Amino acid sequence: MKQNVFQLLRITASYDSNLIIILFLQLNSIFAMQQRPEQLPMQMKFLSCLSLSHLYELEQHLDRFLKSASMAKIPLPFNRSTIRSILIQTVSASNCTQGSLRYWLSAGPGDFQLSSSGCTNPALYAVVIESPSLQVPSCCRVVTSSIPIKSPQFAVMKSVNYLPNALTKVEGEENGAFTGIWLDDEGFVAEGSNMNVGFVTKNKELLMPRFDKILSGCTARRVLTLAEHLVAHGKLSRVISRNVSVEEGKMADEMMLIGSGILVKPVVQWDDKIIGSGQEGPIAQALYDLILEDMRSGPPSVRIPIPY
Ligand SMILES: Cc1ncc(COP(=O)(O)O)c(C=O)c1O
């Protein structure tokens, strides 16, 4: 028997502000998605990790969500605290304790036209996707992307304007790599398809490109903070964000991809260049452990408990 999308993805709850309900979905239930003429370009999607019954970095993702909504000129269907509460309630209704919460904002059902002026009500959607275990980091290859990077105005906001991102990911996969890596308009290292990039230099600095032309990743920002522990223990000399040339990146001792979908993933080859020892480096491993520990027992600013 064919599986529907909810079974395939292990979606355990969904929210739709048009229907004003939270659905608890039995995995074997048949569920038909309503087709609506949404203003597709005017949507954005977000992912917050759900771990051990806590939502990780919900506040940070929500801040970026609201900022992006304003930049995309999507009016909010509710204020911040109501959106926050709906998201928490959706996770609570799912009974899911490990997985991810993905949410969208849209200009709402409309008239199939380009402008959102024909859309009556902005809409919020959310789904909870169960995943039994967290990703264990495995080493990967990356390739320089040939897909043009988005201009800074669109790269710094999260939206569904993600065709370039999707093509960069597919191009990477077609070349036997995990993803493509973008360079910015000046030729400096930018980011991956849906993840940030970090390096460990020969001087043991944790180095990341600045966030002014790329998405300000919640995970990368948290990694920058958590990495101060490694500075305190002498494993890193300092943590810094600045322009990174391709040559410097390829000569680094370590390279890693960072994002809420992958946490910290070591890169051992970029194009034809082997990075460092060609194996997972100690700093990538330590940063992954720090993020994992933060998800399990970090401060209330990054962990929101779910009342089941
Ligand atoms: C283009 C891009 N860069 C970086 C990231 C990583 O951001 P975060 O850590 O908030 O998931 C994402 C996440 O989707 C992204 O789409």
What residue's CA is closest to ligand 1, atom 7? 217
The pLDDT of 254-261, averaged and rounded, is 95
If you take atom 14 of ligand 1, which residue's CA is the nearest one? 194
Per-residue model confidence (pLDDT) at position 8:
60
Q: 159-206 pLDDT, tens per residue? A: 888 899 999 999 999 999 999 999 999 999 999 999 999 999 999 999
Q: What is the CATH number of domain 5-130?
A: 3.30.470.10
Contacts (Cβ under 8 Å, ≥6 apart) of 293: none
Does ligand 1 have an atom closer than 6 angstroms to the CB of 159?
no
Task: For residue 156, report the distance from its CA to the centre of ligand 1, in Å.
Answer: 10
Of the candidate CATH numbers 3.40.50.300, 3.40.50.11540, 3.20.10.10, 3.40.50.1970, the domain formed by 140-297 belongs to 3.20.10.10
Q: Place 50 in a pLDDT band, splitting at 50, 70 and 90.
A: low
- Is residue 308 pLDDT above 80, yes or no? yes
Ligand 1 contacts CB of residue 122 (under 6 A): no
Q: For ligand 1, atom 12, name the residue with the nearest CA.
A: 194
Q: How far is CA 297 from CA 31, 52, 121, 301, 304, in A?
A: 36, 10, 39, 11, 11
In the chain, where does the domain assigned CATH 3.20.10.10 lie?
Answer: 140-297
137 CA distance to ligand 1 middle (Å): 17
The crossing angle, in degrees rounded to 10, of helices 80-94 and 58-71 is 130
- The CA-atom distances, in angstroms, between 88 and each of 61, 91, 129, 304, 306 are 13, 5, 14, 9, 6
> pTM of the full predicted structure?
0.89
- Place 39 in a pLDDT band, splitting at 50, 70 and 90: very low
Q: What is the DSSP letter of 109?
A: B
| pLDDT tens digits, one per residue of 62-111 | 999 999 999 989 899 999 999 999 999 999 998 888 888 888 888 888 88
Q: Who contacts 269 (Cβ-Cβ below 8 Å, separation ≥6)? A: 141, 142, 275, 278
- Is 122 in a helix, a strand, or coil? coil
Output the CA 297–ligand 1 centroid distance in Å. 23
Q: Which residue minimizes the CA distance to atom 4 of ligand 1? A: 195
Q: pLDDT-based confidence at 7, cuts 50/70/90?
A: low
Ranges for all domains in the chain classified under CATH 3.30.470.10:
5-130
Catalytic pick among 2, 67, 73, 158: 158
Q: Which residue from 44, 59, 150, 196 has its CB within 8 A of the most atoms of ligand 1, so it is best to mutate?
A: 196
Residue 163: helix, strand or coil by DSSP?
A: helix
The answer on pLDDT for 24 being more than 80 is no
Q: Which pLDDT score is estimated for 189?
A: 98
Please provide the average confidence, as pLDDT, over all residues in the chain: 87
**Active-site residue, 45 included:** no
**More confident: 1 or 149:** 149
- Any idea which residue has 């995995």 for tokens? 27
CA of 145 to the centre of ligand 1 (A): 16
d(CA 211, CA 20): 36
94: number of Cβ within 10 Å: 27
The residue among 223 and 20 whose pLDDT is bigger is 223
